A and B are shown apart, each in its own frame.
Chain A
Amino acid sequence: MTVAISIDNLVKTFGSTLALDGLDLEVTTGEVHGFLGPNGAGKTVTIRVLLGLLRADSGDATMLGGDPWNDAVDLHRRIAYVPGDVSLWPNLSGGEVIDLLGRLRGGIDPRRRDDLIERFALDPRKKSRTYSKGNRQKVALISALASNAELLLLDEPTAGLDPLMESVFQDFILEAAGEGRTVLLSSHILAEVEKLCDRVTIIRNGRAVQHGTLDELRSVTRTSIIVATDRTVEGLDQLGGIHNVSVDDGQVQFDVDGGSLDAAIRHISSFGIHSLVSQPPTLEELFLRHYGDELEASANGASQS
């Protein structure tokens, strides 16, 4: 198992703003890695450091075995990038931009290009200034996906796409993963991440707060349980790791931390279980759990002022 991207304790400041605060990130070769975080968490800064556009203050970053800053040109032969906010040359047509970027990467396969244009339903003759955000996004995506890059750096690539185009995008990412390419996918669309990604890293305020496979993340977070028992469940509150207990007429509903699941089920089973529904945490819940205290803090701040 080789490593495509390895970031260790990366720090980047802009003046007095701390954009990356000791970020760690590891992307394994051949995986689709989800990169999640709220707005301003540092996702784009991280990707721009990997592109050698920004120079980190301290810490280590390695991409495809090279140094993103010093080996930028060589590394860029092997990667393709889709920015979050695609800005194109207003008087060039979409087709011209696709070809230009493809040739800059060392050539473009015309069949693959035409196939992508058709699948994404892009009119390549239109001048870039007349494209909507979604269409500009398609131009960048087509040029990246038409390349033979072994690593795709995608910064919220589907932000402006409609659901139909998003599913086309997902097909192409799965196809790329099938070919053994590595993808770093920064995204806000959790359903997309759940569908595409093998592992995810959640960052916040420039630090990685959690990383692992979705299963691993689920195991450390709460599962919702609804259980109907013969006798009313008692003493559940005394167990550790149990939250939001509500008892209602022979049915009890609660959330349980991953580590306390075993103890909780043992306890309940003594009351005679006759039905049990267990809901694994969705990515939304993972997300909310990590950003929740931020929401709370801002709510408190608002109520205090």
Chain B
Amino acid sequence: MTSVASRSMIESNVDVEGEAGRTDSLAGLGILIRLVLRRDRIRMLLWFVGIVGLVVATAASITGVYNTPAQLEQYAQIVRGNSALIVQAGPGYGLDDPTTGAVMMNEVGIWTLIAVALMSVFMTVRHTRTEEETERAELVRAAPVGRHAQLMATMVGVTVANVLVAAGVVVSLLLYDLPAVGSIAFGLAIIGSGLVFAGVAAVGDGWLSWLTWLSPPGWGQAIRAFADERWWVLVLPLVAASALVYVAIQLQNRRDFGSGMIPQRPGRADASPWLAGPLGLAVRLQRATVIGWTVGVGLIGFFYGIVADEAESIVEDSPEMAEFFAALGESSITDAFLATAVLMLALVATGFTISSVLRLRSEELAGRADPILATPTSRRRWVLSHLAVAVGGTVIIMVVTGLATGVGFALASGDFGKVPSILGAALVMIPAMLVLGAFAMMLYGFSPRWAPFAWAGFAWAIVAGLFGTVIDIPEWALDISPFGHVPAIPASSFELLPVMLLCTIAVALTWVGLVAITRRDIQ
């Protein structure tokens, strides 16, 4: 350890401006890599267990359910004809002549790639931008550590995490007797897609974080694992990731430590009249987040609304499909699609609800609760202010999303009569979303250390909501997810009882959290 540090120090003393300066930009890399891995060992383990667990559970149920070629063909027919499913799961490569591997990819492929992308983005941002905003980062940079060492250490750490997850996935697929070539192709797709997202996040660290959302994990699917693999596709993520890291390094050369490329604008010299209490502060702190989520989820909803109109025409062309949906006993495929779409949108937006509640935790741990609570503001009032924003933000997101989905559908179909029922479908999701938010509040009330486990509830809601019918999950376990109890409007009709029950549970969990936080130490 010390030998690396001292050597680079001597080098930089000898030749600051010359060639040595170039290699010195990575001084301290080895130590920083170990620091990244040490700090993330639990997080990496959780991502590994989550992603590999999802793949194992799907593999277990698919190999159990679709044993014969006939069963596989039946599955493929349903998927091929349904643009709605393609919207959710991707193009469905290899379903012309379906194998277990192709079905597997169609069910879980895109979600695995998205999960790996999220893992890579979070990890990159955590060790670059977030770290740079802390004062400890300056301690590190003041040591003989090169300008790009932190970025490269992060990239190495993310690569390690991606390789571990990919290895876990490949081994699980092999254990379920899936072909080795396809399994490895999928593993490489995971690594490639993860690295591209890490690269995008690294550039965003310097400048443009919105780029993250332009890069489709479709690249990972395009490798066509288990369906006539196209290996050359792997070149794309490798080239893209390298190019992005290069751009990130160039940006680092141009900007000052701790600042972005865009200079800070001066703020107000005094507070506006409504920034006068804990509620005003909570609104101010989360305003931009609410707007971002509303626009983002609303746009996806608008897109779903437009696509939903197609669902009907596909069924009319396909007698098997009509039979399939008739067997489900649902009113129409359009309604079934819309109900599923709204559920997915609500699941995504629950990410806001939980992170908004957890804002309390980050405020407390950063020491920003103390100055508020040292004024005549009770803990209850401080907590309720943030919860009001969480609830209000959730309602705003769902109202806008419901309207956007409805308007999208109306523009595509010319049928504006469905707008109210689609809006209703979105609104009826709110109690279930609030149950998960209240769960986060309860955990936070007991201890800020426990609060992040609220994400386990979120993860379970997603698994139960999206894979509940695919994976063999016992009924009682599915019932734990609050979304399992929400009436699937417009496919089913509204029921008051479950909605009331969910509201009651949300209030009860919140109350427990409120009582708990008034009894413990503020950290």
Give the docked Cα–Cα distance between A95 and B234 (Å). Answer: 52
Give B261 Cβ to nearest chain A Cβ, in Å. 15
Whether A93 lies near B266 (C-beta < 8 A) is yes
CA distance A83 to B374 in the complex (A): 10
Cβ of B372 < 8 Å from any Cβ of A?
yes
Cα A13 to Cα B278 with chains together (Å):
30
Q: Which of A11-57 contact B (CB under 8 A)?
A: 48, 51-55
Q: Does residue A267 face the partner (Cβ distance < 8 Å to B)?
A: no
> B268 and A96: CB pair below 8 A?
yes
Determine whether the beta carbon of A54 is less than 8 Å from that of B376: no
Residues of A contacting B370 in the complex (Cβ-Cβ under 8 angstroms): 48, 51, 53, 81, 83
Instruction: Assess whether A92 is in contact with B377, with CB atoms less than 8 Å apart.
Output: no
- Closest A residue to B519 by CB, please name it: A55
Residues of A with C-beta under 8 A to B368 = 87-89
A228 to chain B, nearest CB (A): 52
Which of A83, A125, A153 contacts B267 (CB under 8 A)? Answer: A125
Assembled-state Cα–Cα distance A76/B264 (Å)? 35
Q: Does B500 contact A (CB under 8 A)?
A: no
If A81-B374, A129-B133, A130-B264 touch, does A100 touch B281 (CB 8 Å cutoff)?
yes
Residues of chain B with a CB closer than 8 A to A104's CB: 276-278, 372, 375-377
Q: Is the CB of B284 within 8 A of A92?
A: yes
A99 touches B521 (CB 8 A): no
A282 to B338, CA, bound (A): 79
Q: A54-B521, A83-B370 are known contacts. Are A73 and B268 too (CB-CB below 8 A)?
A: no
- Contact at A105–B373, with CB atoms within 8 Å? no
B133 touches A126 (CB 8 A): no
Tell me which residues across on chain A come within 8 A of B373, comparing CB atoms: 51-53, 72, 76
Does A90 lie at the interface of the complex (its beta carbon under 8 Å from any beta carbon of B)? yes
Residues of B within 8 A of A88 (CB): 368
With an 8 Å Cβ cutoff, the count of chain A residues facing the other chain is 43
Residues from chain B with a CB closer than 8 A to the CB of A86 are: 371
The reply to whether B275 and A99 form a contact with Cβ atoms under 8 Å apart is: yes
CB-CB under 8 A from A85, the residues of chain B are 367
Could you tell me the distance in whole angstroms from the C-beta of A20 to the nearest C-beta in chain B? 13
Query: Would A72 and B269 be within 8 Å (CB), given that A89-B285, A100-B276 are in contact?
Result: no
A95 touches B133 (CB 8 A): no
Whether, in the assembled complex, A212 has its beta carbon less than 8 Å from a beta carbon of chain B, the answer is no
Residues of chain B lying within 8 A (CB to CB) of residue A124: 269-270
Is B377 in contact with A103, judged by CB distance below 8 angstroms?
no
Bound Cα distance from A290 to B422, whole angstroms: 73
Chain B neighbourhood of A218, CB < 8 A: none
Does A140 interact with chain B (Cβ within 8 Å)?
A: yes
A101 at the interface (CB under 8 A from B): yes
The answer on a CB contact under 8 Å between A53 and B269 is no
- Interface pair A54/B271, CB less than 8 Å apart: no
- Mark contacts of B371-387 with chain A using CB atoms, 8 A cut-off: 1 yes-contact digit, 0 otherwise: 11111111000000000
Contact of B522 with A by CB under 8 A: yes
State whether the Cβ of A243 lies closer than 8 Å to any Cβ in chain B.
no
Complex Cα distance, B277 from A106, in Å, reads: 10
Query: Most chain-A CB neighbours within 10 Å: which of B285, B519, B521?
Result: B521
Q: Is B366 close to A, CB under 8 A?
A: yes
**Quick one: which of A76, A87, A95 contacts B374, CB cutoff 8 A?**
A76
Would you call B268 and A81 a contact (CB within 8 A)?
A: no
Distance in angstroms between the alpha carbons of A83 and B427 in the assembled complex: 43
A83 and B367 in contact, given A99-B271, A126-B267 (Cβ under 8 angstroms): yes
Q: Which of A63-116 contact B (CB under 8 A)?
A: 72-74, 76-77, 79-81, 83, 85-93, 95-101, 103-106
A76 and B278 CA atoms in complex are apart in Å by 15
Q: Is A95 touching B372 in the complex (CB atoms < 8 A)?
A: no
User: Nearest B residue to A83 by beta-carbon distance?
Assistant: B370
A115 to chain B, nearest CB (A): 14
Contacts of A106 in B (CB 8 A): 376
Residues of B within 8 A of A54 (CB): 521-522
Question: Are A81 and B371 in contact, with the CB atoms below 8 A?
Answer: yes
Complex CA distance for A54 and B373, rounded to whole angstroms: 11
Residues 230-286 of B at the A interface (beta carbon under 8 Å) = 264, 266-271, 275-278, 280-281, 284-285
Q: 9 shortest A-B CB distances, which residue pairs?
A: A93-B267, A99-B271, A104-B375, A81-B374, A87-B367, A125-B266, A53-B522, A96-B271, A95-B269
Q: Knowing that A87-B366, A125-B266 are A-B contacts, what are 6 other residue pairs whose CB atoms are under 8 Å apart, sorted by A's residue number?
A: A51-B373, A72-B373, A76-B373, A83-B371, A86-B371, A104-B377
Which residues of A come within 8 Å of B, CB atoms? 48, 51-55, 72-74, 76-77, 79-81, 83, 85-93, 95-101, 103-106, 124-127, 129-130, 140, 153
23 contacts between A and B (CB under 8 A): A53-B370, A53-B521, A55-B519, A73-B376, A76-B374, A81-B370, A83-B370, A89-B281, A91-B267, A92-B267, A92-B284, A93-B267, A93-B269, A100-B275, A100-B276, A101-B372, A104-B375, A105-B375, A125-B266, A125-B269, A126-B264, A129-B133, A129-B264
